[in-house]
Structure 1
């Protein structure tokens, strides 16, 4: 059973949530149609930095997810 705990959210920019011992970043992208949530599980270094300084630690990752979304897990909005 997975328990998701929302840690942080900025509508239409990102969601950060905890699932078990992982921190997961979700970035919504409207294109390609019908739109997707791009999903990434933080590695240990990213997780530590996020816990220390917050979302600022993930700015480059979020930018990469918006540009190179095919390199990540994608969940369709349909």
Structure 2
């Protein structure tokens, strides 16, 4: 009987999304932007925020709006 009950249980998982930020920003900045979405939407999602691998080598367009650090996914000079 116990085994039968376990078969009937379904685990509902939230869909997981990898959130990749834009050029010369950061995962933390994207998280702040996304968390302006309606809470009933955010409650249904598992959002993962990451930073690009390279520290920013130039001026970011979001300086003065969001605090550093800023990151880049690629570097033009290499």
Is TM-score (shorter-chain normalized) higher than 0.5?
no
Identify the structure with bigger relative contact order (alpha carbons < 8 Å, sequence gap 6+). Answer: 2
Q: TM-score with structure 1 length normalisation?
A: 0.23
The structure in which a higher percent of residues are strand is 1
Q: TM-score with structure 2 length normalisation?
A: 0.23
Structure with higher Rg: it is 2
The structure in which a higher percent of residues are helix is 1
